[in-house]
Amino acid sequence: MLWEHRVLTSEQITSVAFPSYRSGRQRLRELYLWSVVDRFQPFTPTGSAPMHYVLAPAGAAALAAQHGFEVKELGYRHDRAVGIAHSLRLAHTVGVNEWFVRLIADAQRGGAFTVDAWWSEVRCARLFGDLTRPDGYGRLDRGGAHAEFFLEFDLGTEPLTKVVAKLVGYSALAESTGISTPLLFWFPTARREANARKQLLAAWRGLDNPDAVPIATAAANLLDPSDEQSPANAVWLALNAHSSNRSWLHEVLPTCPRPAASATDLPVVLPPPDPMPPLASRPAAAAR
Protein backbone atom coordinates (compact mmCIF):
# COMPACT_ATOMS: atom_id res chain seq x y z
CA MET A 1 0.00 0.00 0.00
CA LEU A 2 2.82 2.42 0.81
CA TRP A 3 4.50 1.73 -2.51
CA GLU A 4 1.25 2.19 -4.41
CA HIS A 5 0.05 5.33 -2.59
CA ARG A 6 3.41 6.89 -1.59
CA VAL A 7 2.43 8.14 1.89
CA LEU A 8 -0.21 7.13 4.42
CA THR A 9 -0.82 8.38 7.93
CA SER A 10 -0.88 6.09 10.94
CA GLU A 11 -4.66 6.49 11.16
CA GLN A 12 -5.15 5.62 7.49
CA ILE A 13 -3.01 2.49 7.71
CA THR A 14 -4.61 1.20 10.90
CA SER A 15 -8.10 1.95 9.56
CA VAL A 16 -7.77 -0.39 6.57
CA ALA A 17 -5.12 -2.89 7.69
CA PHE A 18 -5.49 -3.54 11.42
CA PRO A 19 -8.31 -4.49 13.78
CA SER A 20 -7.48 -1.67 16.20
CA TYR A 21 -5.43 1.50 16.37
CA ARG A 22 -3.37 0.09 19.23
CA SER A 23 -2.32 -3.06 17.37
CA GLY A 24 -1.59 -1.04 14.24
CA ARG A 25 0.52 1.50 16.08
CA GLN A 26 2.56 -1.26 17.74
CA ARG A 27 3.13 -3.04 14.44
CA LEU A 28 4.11 0.17 12.64
CA ARG A 29 6.67 0.89 15.34
CA GLU A 30 8.21 -2.55 14.83
CA LEU A 31 8.30 -2.09 11.05
CA TYR A 32 9.94 1.31 11.53
CA LEU A 33 12.64 -0.14 13.80
CA TRP A 34 13.33 -2.82 11.18
CA SER A 35 13.63 -0.15 8.42
CA VAL A 36 10.68 -1.67 6.57
CA VAL A 37 8.89 1.69 6.74
CA ASP A 38 10.09 5.23 7.40
CA ARG A 39 8.10 8.01 9.02
CA PHE A 40 7.90 11.75 9.52
CA GLN A 41 5.57 14.20 11.23
CA PRO A 42 4.73 17.36 9.27
CA PHE A 43 4.66 20.69 11.08
CA THR A 44 1.25 22.20 11.76
CA PRO A 45 0.60 25.70 13.18
CA THR A 46 -1.74 24.27 15.82
CA GLY A 47 -1.85 20.86 17.45
CA SER A 48 0.17 18.01 16.00
CA ALA A 49 -0.10 16.09 12.73
CA PRO A 50 -0.34 12.28 12.73
CA MET A 51 2.76 10.29 11.86
CA HIS A 52 3.16 9.85 8.10
CA TYR A 53 4.66 6.63 6.74
CA VAL A 54 6.56 5.84 3.54
CA LEU A 55 8.32 2.74 2.25
CA ALA A 56 11.86 2.24 3.60
CA PRO A 57 14.78 0.31 2.00
CA ALA A 58 14.13 -3.02 3.76
CA GLY A 59 10.47 -2.83 2.77
CA ALA A 60 11.36 -2.08 -0.84
CA ALA A 61 13.78 -5.03 -0.91
CA ALA A 62 11.15 -7.40 0.46
CA LEU A 63 8.52 -6.11 -1.96
CA ALA A 64 10.81 -6.45 -4.97
CA ALA A 65 11.94 -9.96 -3.98
CA GLN A 66 8.34 -11.06 -3.49
CA HIS A 67 7.58 -10.18 -7.12
CA GLY A 68 10.80 -11.49 -8.62
CA PHE A 69 12.86 -8.46 -9.54
CA GLU A 70 15.52 -6.14 -8.16
CA VAL A 71 14.90 -2.98 -6.15
CA LYS A 72 16.30 -0.88 -9.01
CA GLU A 73 13.70 -2.45 -11.32
CA LEU A 74 11.01 -1.50 -8.84
CA GLY A 75 12.15 2.08 -9.32
CA TYR A 76 12.51 2.67 -5.59
CA ARG A 77 14.82 5.35 -4.19
CA HIS A 78 14.83 6.18 -0.51
CA ASP A 79 15.50 9.88 -1.09
CA ARG A 80 12.44 10.11 -3.33
CA ALA A 81 10.30 8.18 -0.88
CA VAL A 82 11.07 10.50 2.03
CA GLY A 83 11.11 13.54 -0.27
CA ILE A 84 7.30 13.58 -0.19
CA ALA A 85 7.69 15.07 3.31
CA HIS A 86 8.85 18.33 1.70
CA SER A 87 6.72 18.15 -1.43
CA LEU A 88 4.15 20.83 -2.22
CA ARG A 89 1.82 17.95 -3.13
CA LEU A 90 1.94 16.31 0.30
CA ALA A 91 -1.42 17.71 1.41
CA HIS A 92 -3.03 16.72 -1.89
CA THR A 93 -1.65 13.17 -1.82
CA VAL A 94 -2.71 12.64 1.80
CA GLY A 95 -6.12 14.16 1.02
CA VAL A 96 -6.75 11.78 -1.89
CA ASN A 97 -5.68 8.81 0.24
CA GLU A 98 -7.93 9.96 3.08
CA TRP A 99 -10.86 10.16 0.66
CA PHE A 100 -10.41 6.53 -0.38
CA VAL A 101 -9.69 5.31 3.16
CA ARG A 102 -12.97 6.84 4.36
CA LEU A 103 -14.76 5.18 1.45
CA ILE A 104 -13.25 1.83 2.46
CA ALA A 105 -14.21 2.43 6.10
CA ASP A 106 -17.79 3.03 4.99
CA ALA A 107 -17.77 -0.31 3.17
CA GLN A 108 -16.33 -2.04 6.23
CA ARG A 109 -19.22 -0.72 8.31
CA GLY A 110 -21.61 -2.59 6.03
CA GLY A 111 -22.35 0.03 3.39
CA ALA A 112 -24.14 -0.51 0.10
CA PHE A 113 -20.95 -1.64 -1.64
CA THR A 114 -17.47 -3.07 -1.27
CA VAL A 115 -14.29 -1.54 -2.66
CA ASP A 116 -12.76 -3.74 -5.35
CA ALA A 117 -9.98 -1.45 -6.56
CA TRP A 118 -8.10 1.69 -5.57
CA TRP A 119 -5.40 2.91 -7.94
CA SER A 120 -3.04 5.74 -7.14
CA GLU A 121 -2.33 8.85 -9.18
CA VAL A 122 1.03 7.36 -10.17
CA ARG A 123 -0.56 4.17 -11.51
CA CYS A 124 -3.21 6.17 -13.37
CA ALA A 125 -0.49 8.33 -14.94
CA ARG A 126 1.33 5.21 -16.17
CA LEU A 127 -1.83 3.89 -17.79
CA PHE A 128 -3.56 7.05 -19.02
CA GLY A 129 -0.92 9.77 -18.71
CA ASP A 130 -0.72 10.49 -22.41
CA LEU A 131 -4.33 11.68 -22.27
CA THR A 132 -5.22 12.51 -18.66
CA ARG A 133 -3.95 12.11 -15.09
CA PRO A 134 -6.70 11.30 -12.58
CA ASP A 135 -5.97 11.68 -8.87
CA GLY A 136 -7.26 8.15 -8.40
CA TYR A 137 -9.36 5.35 -9.83
CA GLY A 138 -11.84 3.25 -7.88
CA ARG A 139 -14.18 0.36 -8.51
CA LEU A 140 -17.09 -0.56 -6.25
CA ASP A 141 -18.90 -3.88 -6.12
CA ARG A 142 -22.64 -3.88 -5.51
CA GLY A 143 -23.88 -7.46 -5.28
CA GLY A 144 -22.79 -8.83 -8.62
CA ALA A 145 -22.44 -5.52 -10.44
CA HIS A 146 -19.59 -3.05 -10.40
CA ALA A 147 -19.28 0.70 -10.74
CA GLU A 148 -16.03 2.46 -11.54
CA PHE A 149 -14.93 6.08 -11.45
CA PHE A 150 -12.07 8.53 -11.74
CA LEU A 151 -11.51 11.05 -8.94
CA GLU A 152 -10.43 14.67 -9.22
CA PHE A 153 -9.63 15.88 -5.70
CA ASP A 154 -9.60 19.67 -5.44
CA LEU A 155 -8.06 21.60 -2.56
CA GLY A 156 -9.08 24.99 -3.90
CA THR A 157 -5.51 25.95 -4.81
CA GLU A 158 -5.78 25.67 -8.62
CA PRO A 159 -7.58 28.18 -10.84
CA LEU A 160 -10.95 26.75 -11.84
CA THR A 161 -10.02 27.23 -15.49
CA LYS A 162 -7.25 24.65 -15.00
CA VAL A 163 -9.64 22.26 -13.26
CA VAL A 164 -12.21 22.57 -16.04
CA ALA A 165 -9.60 22.11 -18.78
CA LYS A 166 -9.10 18.52 -17.60
CA LEU A 167 -12.38 17.50 -19.24
CA VAL A 168 -10.72 17.50 -22.66
CA GLY A 169 -8.35 14.72 -21.58
CA TYR A 170 -11.10 12.59 -20.09
CA SER A 171 -13.13 13.00 -23.27
CA ALA A 172 -10.14 11.88 -25.34
CA LEU A 173 -9.65 8.86 -23.08
CA ALA A 174 -13.31 7.84 -23.42
CA GLU A 175 -13.08 8.19 -27.20
CA SER A 176 -9.86 6.18 -27.51
CA THR A 177 -10.97 3.33 -25.23
CA GLY A 178 -14.68 3.29 -26.00
CA ILE A 179 -15.31 3.12 -22.24
CA SER A 180 -17.47 5.66 -20.46
CA THR A 181 -16.05 6.09 -16.94
CA PRO A 182 -17.81 8.49 -14.52
CA LEU A 183 -15.72 11.40 -13.28
CA LEU A 184 -16.11 12.61 -9.69
CA PHE A 185 -15.04 16.10 -8.62
CA TRP A 186 -14.56 16.59 -4.87
CA PHE A 187 -14.32 20.23 -3.75
CA PRO A 188 -13.47 21.66 -0.31
CA THR A 189 -16.51 23.94 -0.07
CA ALA A 190 -19.98 24.19 -1.55
CA ARG A 191 -19.20 27.72 -2.75
CA ARG A 192 -16.24 26.56 -4.82
CA GLU A 193 -18.30 23.63 -6.07
CA ALA A 194 -21.08 25.98 -7.24
CA ASN A 195 -18.60 28.19 -9.11
CA ALA A 196 -16.93 25.15 -10.64
CA ARG A 197 -20.21 23.57 -11.75
CA LYS A 198 -21.05 26.59 -13.92
CA GLN A 199 -17.75 26.35 -15.77
CA LEU A 200 -17.76 22.56 -15.88
CA LEU A 201 -21.25 22.47 -17.37
CA ALA A 202 -20.30 24.90 -20.15
CA ALA A 203 -17.14 22.93 -20.96
CA TRP A 204 -18.95 19.58 -20.73
CA ARG A 205 -21.62 20.70 -23.20
CA GLY A 206 -18.84 21.70 -25.59
CA LEU A 207 -17.34 18.19 -25.72
CA ASP A 208 -17.83 16.14 -28.87
CA ASN A 209 -19.67 13.47 -26.87
CA PRO A 210 -20.63 14.77 -23.41
CA ASP A 211 -22.52 11.59 -22.49
CA ALA A 212 -19.24 9.63 -22.67
CA VAL A 213 -17.98 11.57 -19.64
CA PRO A 214 -20.63 11.41 -16.88
CA ILE A 215 -19.75 13.89 -14.11
CA ALA A 216 -20.87 14.33 -10.52
CA THR A 217 -19.64 16.85 -7.95
CA ALA A 218 -19.62 17.12 -4.17
CA ALA A 219 -18.14 19.30 -1.45
CA ALA A 220 -16.48 18.28 1.79
CA ASN A 221 -18.30 20.83 3.93
CA LEU A 222 -21.65 19.32 2.94
CA LEU A 223 -20.91 16.27 5.08
CA ASP A 224 -22.90 16.12 8.30
CA PRO A 225 -20.39 16.66 11.16
CA SER A 226 -22.53 14.47 13.43
CA ASP A 227 -22.37 11.56 11.00
CA GLU A 228 -19.55 9.43 9.59
CA GLN A 229 -17.46 11.64 7.29
CA SER A 230 -17.70 9.40 4.24
CA PRO A 231 -17.57 10.45 0.59
CA ALA A 232 -20.20 7.77 0.02
CA ASN A 233 -22.81 9.95 1.78
CA ALA A 234 -25.64 11.82 0.07
CA VAL A 235 -23.62 14.86 -1.02
CA TRP A 236 -23.36 14.14 -4.78
CA LEU A 237 -25.03 16.01 -7.60
CA ALA A 238 -24.82 14.99 -11.25
CA LEU A 239 -23.53 17.81 -13.44
CA ASN A 240 -26.60 17.67 -15.69
CA ALA A 241 -29.08 17.06 -12.85
CA HIS A 242 -32.50 18.69 -13.18
CA SER A 243 -32.92 18.82 -9.40
CA SER A 244 -30.81 20.16 -6.55
CA ASN A 245 -31.43 17.05 -4.45
CA ARG A 246 -28.18 15.37 -3.45
CA SER A 247 -27.63 11.63 -3.95
CA TRP A 248 -25.54 8.88 -2.38
CA LEU A 249 -22.35 8.02 -4.23
CA HIS A 250 -23.60 4.62 -5.38
CA GLU A 251 -26.71 6.31 -6.81
CA VAL A 252 -24.76 8.56 -9.20
CA LEU A 253 -22.51 5.76 -10.48
CA PRO A 254 -23.98 3.55 -13.22
CA THR A 255 -23.36 -0.17 -12.73
CA CYS A 256 -22.66 -3.01 -15.11
CA PRO A 257 -22.17 -6.78 -14.61
CA ARG A 258 -19.07 -7.62 -12.64
CA PRO A 259 -16.13 -8.78 -14.79
CA ALA A 260 -15.54 -12.54 -14.93
CA ALA A 261 -12.16 -12.06 -13.26
CA SER A 262 -13.96 -10.78 -10.17
CA ALA A 263 -16.59 -13.50 -10.11
CA THR A 264 -15.63 -14.82 -6.66
CA ASP A 265 -16.47 -12.97 -3.49
CA LEU A 266 -13.82 -10.34 -2.85
CA PRO A 267 -12.66 -8.81 0.43
CA VAL A 268 -13.57 -5.23 1.23
CA VAL A 269 -9.97 -4.18 0.64
CA LEU A 270 -8.07 -5.95 -2.10
CA PRO A 271 -4.36 -6.55 -1.67
CA PRO A 272 -2.55 -3.65 -3.35
CA PRO A 273 -1.87 -4.13 -7.07
CA ASP A 274 1.42 -5.70 -8.07
CA PRO A 275 4.28 -3.19 -8.16
CA MET A 276 4.75 -1.75 -11.61
CA PRO A 277 8.44 -1.32 -12.47
CA PRO A 278 9.37 1.09 -15.25
CA LEU A 279 8.23 -0.17 -18.63
CA ALA A 280 11.80 -0.56 -19.89
CA SER A 281 12.68 -3.02 -17.11
CA ARG A 282 9.64 -5.28 -17.36
CA PRO A 283 10.89 -7.49 -20.23
CA ALA A 284 14.14 -8.16 -18.38
CA ALA A 285 12.27 -9.07 -15.22
CA ALA A 286 9.91 -11.33 -17.12
CA ALA A 287 12.80 -13.09 -18.89
CA ARG A 288 14.15 -14.31 -15.58
Q: CA–CA separation, 236 vs 216, rounded Å? A: 6
Q: CA–CA separation, 135 vs 120, rounded Å? A: 7
Residue 259 has pLDDT above 70, yes or no: no
Are residues 204 and 215 in contact, defined by beta-carbon separation less than 8 angstroms?
yes
What is the structure's pLDDT at 44?
Answer: 87
Once rounded to an integer, what is the mean pLDDT over residues 53-63? 96
Model confidence over 185-230: pLDDT tens digits? 999 999 999 999 999 999 999 999 999 999 999 999 999 988 888 9
pTM of the model: 0.89
